Each structure stands twice: as structure tokens, then as C-alpha cells.
Amino acid sequence: MTWTAKLIKHNNENRIAVYFEKNQDLIARIKQLEGARWSQQKTVWHLPDTLENRERFKIEPLANLVPSPEAITQIEKFKQWMRSKRYSESTINTYSEVLKSFLVFYREKPVASINNEDVIIYNNEYILKNKLSASYQNQTVNAIKLFFMTVRETKIEVDKIHRPKRAKLLPNVLSKEEIKLILDAHSNIKHKMMLSLIYSCGLRCGELLALQPVHIDSQRNIVLLKNAKGQKDRIVPLSPKILDMLREYYSLYKPKKYLFEGQVAGVPYDSRSLQQVLKQALHKVHLTKPATLHWLRHSYATHLLESGTDLRYIQELLGHNSSKTTEIYTHVSTKSIQQIKSPFDDL
């Protein structure tokens, strides 16, 4: 038995229409589905447009759906609220997208009637079922909490929304020898300069690409990071060796606005292209570790700790709000661990 299914509008409702040649067995099975109805006008059986029915009849995934008109309005209001609170555009986009998926899941339900149990169901029936990460779930919780703080009438108790248990993962760190191989891999001075600056100053990728020539203070040997993560400015020390490299780079490229620009003058270098620069370096030196740009930042922090820099200073240099975030580097520092003698040596 062959059938086709598609989305339709019926009496201003989103429905799933199922088309097939007349078959009493299939009709009996469709009748058993909740909300199934026969349309005399359209001469077709149709069902509620739910996630379960979309999966049953192989309709497009949740990510391609549109929330209810009420939810669309609420998401726009939420965006305006976040902008008025000066959240970064990156955060606004992330929260809007995960919130959209949540409200699509409950598009048949008024926003004001969504409750804490619905959040648990969503976590189980969408996030866990689709094997989405704990990080994605955590972003969703952040967005839902913030969103429902701005909704006047709601059944949600924001403080009772639980988060996924945080995985205790250690940061990935490269040795100084591996770092040197990576930084020396490129003959292109721009590529070498970008990777070197990330490691030598412990920068995030976005912080590097937002740098402008005026942020390099050669008199005081510091780099000023404007509007870094969390809308915070901070300064980091600039290595004299890096300063010499920067002067050579600047005289060759003469950037217009951003320190590192792509093909178009005045436009910052693309973050995906920068990831490729690192991948090419890894390939050239035959390093098989799945290193990312953030590994360079982790390595910077760990190498500072191993050379005796106080953890409080490292916290300031990395721009961490909490010392707990910085303390994770004490678990990957090998300086003390390498001095521990294994009992195996005494056998």
C-alpha cells in the first residue's frame, strides 16, 4: 500500500493530509490516531500537525517548521528585550534559535499554558531522542529561563527548570614542542601571525578577529581586548617577539580597519577560514590530534601555570568571571604530576 502525506491548512489549522487509494484497513488504522478527521471538502483524511505525526508520515524535521503566529510575535519581543539589555548578537541568535525549536514543538499550545512538565517532555522527546548535546540542552534551558522571565502570564516556574548534569571534561592541551611545530608550519606570515597571537595572548577566536591595529599598544606592550566575551574589556601582555612579528606583518599587509582582514579590505578574516589555517598546519607537521583554535588558548593557560604564574593572574588574563573556571587547568598541569614516583619503580 502506497501513500503520500503533506502539510495543509484546514480551517486555519496546520494539518497533515494523508493521500492513498481507498483501503478499509488503512482507513481503520488512521481512525485510531488521535485527532484524525475526514474532510468532505478536500476528500482526504487529515491529522494534527504534531512531531509524532510528522515522524510517522515522514514529514520534514522539526528544525524546518515554523512556530505559531503567537510564538513568532513572542520571539521577536524577546529579541527586542535582549537587545535593550545589550546582549551580544551571537547570544541573541543562539537563544532565538533554540527557543524557536522549543516553541515549534508546542506550536499547538498557547505560550502562557506551557509548564515545567512540558520542558521535561521536550528534553526527553526532542533533545535526548535526537542525541543532541548537553551543551545544546544547557543553551535551551538558558533561553527558556530568560524568555519566561519576560512573559507576564505563565505557568512556568523558572527556578525549578533543571539543567543537564555538567560533564567534568578536562581541557585539551598541547605540549610546547607541539605548539612550536604548529606555529612554524606556515610560511605565510598572516597565517603564522594569527595562530601565534592566539597562543601568545590566550585569545578566543572571536577576540582575535575583532582586533584592530589601535588595540595594540606597543609602548606598554599590551593588547586591549574590546567587548570580549560577556561585554568585558580586558588587557593582556604582548610578547616582544610577537610585537616584532606584528610590525613586519603590518608593513606587508597594511590592514584598513581590522588587524586581520580577508579578501575584502575592512572586513574581518572569516573564522571558518582561520580553522582551516590551523588544520593545514596540523597536516603539514603530521599531528593527528583533533586540535582546535581553543586548544591553543587552553595550552597558553596550562603553560603559564606550569611556569609558576599565579592562578588569579591567569583568571584575569583569560577573562574568566569565576576562579572555578580557571582552576580546571590545575588538573591538566603536569609539572607536579611528573614528579610523583610510581610504586611500580620500587618493584
What SS3 state is found at 285?
coil
Partners of 126 in beta bridges: none
**Does residue 166 have an active-site annotation?**
no
Query: What is residue 179's predicted lDDT score, i.e. its pLDDT?
Result: 95
What is the residue-level pLDDT of the chain in tens, covering all 347 positions?
A: 567 777 777 777 778 888 887 788 888 888 888 889 998 887 888 988 777 777 777 765 565 577 888 999 999 999 999 999 988 888 898 999 999 999 988 888 899 999 999 999 899 888 887 778 888 899 999 999 999 998 878 888 888 888 887 666 677 889 999 999 999 999 999 999 999 999 999 999 999 999 999 999 999 999 999 866 666 789 899 999 999 999 999 999 999 999 999 989 999 999 989 999 999 999 999 999 999 999 999 999 999 888 888 888 988 888 888 888 787 777 766 666 666 666 656 66
Structure confidence at residue 20 (pLDDT): 80
Residue 329 a catalytic site member: yes
Catalytic residue among 10, 204, 226, 284: 204
Distances (CA, A) of 121 to 161, 288, 298: 12, 40, 36
Alpha-carbon torsion (70, 71, 75, 76), positive or negative: negative
Check if 122 is active-site. no
Name which of 307, 282, 315 is nearest 296 in CA terms: 282
Q: Which helix (H) or strand (E) holds 300?
A: helix 293-306
Among candidate residues 229, 250, 253, 284, the one labeled active-site is: 229
Exposure pattern of 196-214 as b/e (b: 16+ CB <10 Å)? bbbbbbbbbbebbbbbeee
Q: Which domains does the chain have, with CATH numbers?
A: 3-60 (no CATH), 69-160 (1.10.150.130), 176-331 (1.10.443.10)
Does the active-site annotation cover 136? Answer: no
Reported as half-sphere exposure (CB side, CA atoms, 13 A), residue 169 has a value of 9
Where are any strands of DSSP class E within the chain? 3-10, 13-20, 37-39, 44-48, 216-217, 222-228, 232-237
The one catalytic residue in 77, 129, 176, 294 is: 294
Alpha carbons 78 and 81: distance in angstroms, whole number: 5
pLDDT at residue 162, rounded to an integer:
84
pLDDT of residue 18: 85
pLDDT for the residue numbered 170 = 74
Active site (annotated) includes residue 126: no
313 is catalytic: no
Beta-carbon contacts of 240 under 8 Å, excluding residues fewer than 6 positions away, are: 221
Q: Which amino acid is at 87?
A: Y
User: The pTM is what?
Assistant: 0.63
Considering the candidates 10, 215, 226, 320, report the single residue annotated as catalytic: 320
Annotated catalytic residue within 297, 298, 300, 303: 297
Going by C-alpha positions, the residue among 176, 172, 200 that lies closest to residue 328 is 172
User: What is the pLDDT at residue 286?
Assistant: 95
* Per-residue CA distances from 97 to 46, 72, 123, 303 (Å): 29, 11, 16, 37
